[in-house]
Chain A
Amino acid sequence: MNRRLTPLVALLLMLAGAVIMVYPYAYMVGSSLKTRREFAQDKEGLIPPRFEVGEQLKHRRGEPSALDWPGGDWPPWQNYADAISFGKVDRYLGNSLMYGVVITAMQLLLDVLAAYAFARFEFRGKRLLFGLLLATMMVPPAVLLIPNFLVVRELGLVDTAWGVMLPGFAGAFGIFLLRQAFLNIPAELEQAARIDGCGSTGILWHVILPLSKPALITLGLFTFMGAWNMFEWPLVVLSDHNYYPLTVGLSLFRAETGADWPRIFAASTMGAAPLILLFLAAQRYLVGGISLSGIKV
């Protein structure tokens, strides 16, 4: 009896937990459909009052209802449209995408090259350089915030797109991950290619890369997500709002008195959705990648 019950109990508990995980998202989306007055009057509900059956009936009977409030005639997507037209959220989203794509591309490029060197070559100072790389991973980002700003300032890149992206172009994490993947490729294949006349770049291109696709995809996804979710660094480095990624744009949306929360939630939904879609499409790489990176490092 116990044997059959446990999976069922576990399932129920997991379902309960899943509801807890998803509830804030439902709250966000539901609030993004409300008007300002609706949100002020009803902070808790998931459904905008003007769409509730009870309110609709009251309105039809001619009684005062939520549809009489300012914005009672708005369609559900009004806040999304306003966020784009007034709030210029499309600009921020486009920026987030640009930063994500460029940082990912550069990281993949640079990390592949460096990991190849560590995995397939012997050279003087290899242990030292590897140790240094390891050391860079030990530094908490909070310590690096100020000096990175000063470095970027010296380079004249403050308040530019490059300034936002540059520190993200190389990461020890990615080098380690790829090195691990490269080391797993048998040396015979490399020798075979060398016999065929490939130089080191040829081996990289024809042998190593094709065989490490999963690791590359995993790293690419991780990097893209990390870049999309960047907040403190662009907050510090940027002041021109045309360069803000969505995270910074959101945080400054509400700096006015009496913030328009439904509109903010609409922008938030638009900021969270792309990554969720990406995740759904590429789950196995991400989840697999975490296990890979988490334990083996």
Chain B
Amino acid sequence: MYNRLRVLLISLVLGLVCLGALWRSGVVWAWGMKAGSGRPVQLKVWDWWSPSANEEYGEYFAAVEKVYEERYPDVDVVLQIVPFGNYVQKLATAMVGSAPPDVFQSSVYWAEGFYQRGMLLSLDSLLAQAAADTGGQRLAQGVFLPSAWRHNHTAEGRVFGIPQIIDAQCLIWNLDLLEKAAQEDEEIRDLFEHLPDGTPDYQRLHFEGVRDWEHFRRLVKKLTRYGQDGEVVQAGFAINAYSGGAGMFPPWLAANGGRFQNEAGTRALFATPKGVEALEFMARLYWEDKVCPPFRRQIADGELFEEGKVACIAAGTWTGKDIIRNTLGWRNFAKTAFPPGPRGSGQKTLTWGNMLVISRNCPNVEAAWEYVRLVCGLEGNLLRLKYLGYNGPRLDLYQTPQWREAAAARPYLANVPQICLAGDKLRHTEIIATDHQANPVFETLLLRYPEIVAGQGPYSSVAAALKEAAGNVDQVYGRYHQQAQGWLARRGEGE
């Protein structure tokens, strides 16, 4: 009898715990959301900007949602965050599943591929209808920076996305370390802008401060400090071999006048002397000039930069707010583009405009299009500026008083417009597959550069390695192009 009671009691407690857990489960929560939002129309929005990575994203989305839902009370905006690395797979799955998003942010890495596979709605007719808009509402090519309107249309001009942001890869410099070194070194002091009275402005760097690769090498060597055993204690520049070896190669390649792929995405163009030079430049910085911290898989460049252990890293124009958030407020850094290599000219980088797109089977195109107009119009740009300190792809943004105030309050924004203008088109075709082919080669080149130079490595030379990688990437392009033409032809589009 007592035993039975005990069993009963345990089962009851367990049962309650389980019920509680089930109540809080995501499945139940999702049912609840579908049932009782009280608004007839649901707009599903996807993005990878995650509030759990940076709370400011949460504030931004809340503001956008508030503005939109006040304007359109019968629409309920439901936001879902999907990690960048899994976005393609998750999107394809959702689209054959039961709850695909209506409107979502697409990286330029995927947008063209999505369109070719038939996942996106063509925006031409919507743009034509909105042609009469003016001012901050207007969404047309002329309203945006040229470098923002590159990835969002097919070769024939069919538009499938509207740029929401403009990003560029850039160099980020730790101004604390630079200022300290500038006290004793004139070359470093010359990197800074000047205040009206002629003294260095230690919060801003000249956009053209670094003249070329030799100059860059000298500078980061001066910014490197060594410990007792010769290990790098303060690095001048950080290179990460592991997290996508190809990631940092394309901007240096662009700075040397090269390109990664051709416009149509059918050939790899990096296996050229320009590419070899760019890769050797990176490898030599690590192995010969020894200005870099040791290659470590678990440690990202950003982490090192936030800890103050490296003077310069290659990152992006968007990373400013993440650095501020992770260091709980430190903002003494500045951005520049990549200095020209021996075969390049002018400060260079790669730019892209991640865009908002609407999915082809969206049940409520009007609601989705109004969302796009809000987020990609001047209003959305200003919200991103306010909550995220983010620059935008619209030309009219830079004329607003808000921008001037923001640039004054956040000095690291000073060079960002020029950086965005100085960009070539970022590669955009079949990124995951080409990375799968090319990244291990770049990894090997960086990790085993001395062996390769001595003729004992897995490749006979850097040029041979790049040629092999390019050959494999060409295969990827070829296979994809063939299938893509097939899909386009089935829909009556394409070549």
Contact = CB atoms under 8 A, between A and B. Distances in A.
User: Do any beta carbons of A and B sit within 8 angstroms of each other in the complex?
Assistant: yes
- Per DSSP, chain B at the interface is helix
A86 B25 contact: no
A91 B99 contact: no
B22 A240 contact: no
Nearest to B307: A40
B29 A239 contact: no
Contact of A256 (B25, B30, B50, B307): B50
Interface in A85-138: 86-88, 90-95, 97-98, 101
Contacts of A239: 82, 89-91, 93-94, 97
A157 B30 CA distance: 16
B301 to A, nearest CB: 9
Contact of B98 (A94, A101, A158, A236): A158
Interface stretch (A212-220, A241-249, A287-295): A241-249
Residue among A92, A97, A237 having the largest count of chain B Cβ atoms under 10 Å: A97
B99 A240 contact: yes
B80 interface: yes
Interface in A219-265: 236-244, 252-253, 255-258, 260
Given A70-B328, A257-B302, A153 B96 contact: yes
A40 B303 contact: yes
Contacts of A87: 52
A88 B22 CA distance: 14
Interface residues of A, number: 38
B401 interface: no
Given A256-B53, A258-B303, A91 B26 contact: yes
Given A87-B52, A160-B97, A94 B22 contact: yes
Contact of A240 (B24, B30, B51, B96): B30
Nearest to B93: A239
A97 B303 contact: no
Contact of A97 (B22, B98, B300, B322): B22
B13 to A, nearest CB: 12
B78 to A, nearest CB: 10
A94 B90 contact: no
Contacts of B80: 240-241
B233 to A, nearest CB: 15
Residue among B84, B90, B97, B300 having the largest count of chain A Cβ atoms under 10 Å: B97
A68 to B, nearest CB: 12
B23 interface: yes
A257 B99 CA distance: 27
A229 to B, nearest CB: 17
14 contacts: A94-B23, A156-B98, A157-B98, A159-B93, A159-B97, A160-B98, A239-B90, A240-B80, A240-B99, A241-B26, A255-B84, A256-B53, A257-B322, A258-B322
A241 B27 CA distance: 9
A174 to B, nearest CB: 22
Interface string A28-40: 0000000000001
A159 B86 contact: no
Nearest to B10: A281
B85 A94 contact: no
B18 interface: yes
Contacts of B455: none
B25 A257 contact: no
A94 B303 contact: no
Nearest to A97: B21
Contact of B27 (A95, A156, A236, A255): A95
A161 interface: yes
Given A97-B25, A156-B98, A241-B81, A257 B53 contact: yes
B28 interface: yes
A190 to B, nearest CB: 29
A93 B21 contact: yes
Contacts of A158: 93, 96-98
